[in-house]
Amino acid sequence: MHPAASIILFTTASGLGYGLLFVLGIAAACGLLPPNTLFGVLTIALALGTVSIGLLSSTFHLGHPERAWRAVTQWRSSWLSREGVLAILVYGPAFYFGAGWILFDQELYAWRAISFTLAVGAIATVFCTAMIYASLKSIPRWNNQWVSAVYLSLSLMTGALWFVAIWAFFFPVPTALTTILLVLIIVAYACKYCYWRYIENAPVVSTAESATGLGSKGKTRLLEPPHTGRNYLLEEMGYKVARKHANKLRVICMFSAFGVPIACYVFIYFADGYYVTVLAVTAAVLGQVGVTIERWLFFAEAEHVVMLYYGKDQIHG
């Protein structure tokens, strides 16, 4: 699949924003958020800013962006529509939450209940985003349970990394918070590793013979190419990334998204003051870079079954 920049920005930026909203919501519901105005402004601005940037960028991948509003009308059958509906609804509790924290020192009525609602809405939106891809049987490498696990774990990881990065500018980082971050990073790594292992060992799910229904007559081969030049299907569905380049990018992704953040948070156990802030910010920045590479590979390595009609012999699950 063609790894469009708009979709990569959409999934990574909104994933960060919703992950951060989830962390803020859970922390507030447990009474762990400090009534610090500047800290509140920065975290809420980052969360809502990245969510909004991500959602806006997704419209650029549409043939007619002006018709994007129609996507929310098909929520009964479309994961894309459900994601759009939830994305809009989450703004309500997010603004209420922000006002209670920043303007009223957490004294708004039912503030903690709204905080929990915000957390649930944020994580549900990320799940719907993941299911947009995981529900596509025409792309077997996406049609598995690991896709939603990867999206959810990476969203929580990046949101938590940026939460602590901002926290470190204002307060000492508690040991418990450092431990939680390490657990989230390791879980995200495990999910991504399992996804890559799954697609590497997945069986063949479709062949040129099964796609054309000519398997009983023997080996099916392409007599002539369907088109003499490039077309939309080949541009969008026929993108290929060389195996050696994909492997190199996987290594870079693992190092940036997981290796560096794990090392930074291990060092945070023994550091203090300025060094903690530098380590937390480094982990957040390089973690986000690694997730962006991961998302590019997620799209670039996907294989659409339509390519069986363009000369590909088989498609793996």
DSSP string covering 216-253, please?
A: GGS----SS-S-SS--HHHHHH-----HHHHHHHHHHH
- CA 33 distance to own-chain centroid: 25
Residues facing 207 on adjacent strands: 314
Backbone angles phi, psi at 269, to 5 degrees: -55, -30
CA distance 309 to 221: 10
Q: What is the pLDDT of residue 105?
A: 78
**Burial grade of 187 (CB within 10 A; 0-12, 13-18, 19 or more):** middle
Query: Can you give the pLDDT at residue 217?
Result: 72
For residue 316, what are the β-bridge partners? Answer: 204
pLDDT value of position 124: 97
Which two structure tokens, joined as six digits, stand for 234? 């080949």
Contact yes or no for 125/83 (Cβ under 8 A): yes
> How crowded is residue 317: how many other Cβ atoms within 10 Å of its Cβ?
17
**Where exactly are the structural domains of the chain?**
1-135, 160-317
The rounded distance, in Å, linking the Cα atoms of 65 and 112 is 37
Q: How far apart are CA 277 and CA 126, in angstroms?
A: 28
Tens of each residue's pLDDT in the chain, 317 residues: 678 888 999 999 999 999 999 999 999 998 888 888 999 999 999 999 999 999 888 777 666 665 666 667 777 788 988 998 999 999 999 999 999 988 887 777 788 889 999 999 999 999 999 999 999 888 888 989 999 999 999 999 999 999 999 999 999 999 999 999 999 999 999 999 999 999 888 777 777 666 667 666 777 776 666 666 676 666 667 677 777 788 899 999 999 999 999 999 999 999 988 999 999 999 999 999 999 999 999 998 888 777 767 766 667 65
Q: Flag whether the pTM goes above 0.85.
A: yes
Strands 204-207, 314-316: pairing is: antiparallel
- pLDDT at res. 112: 85
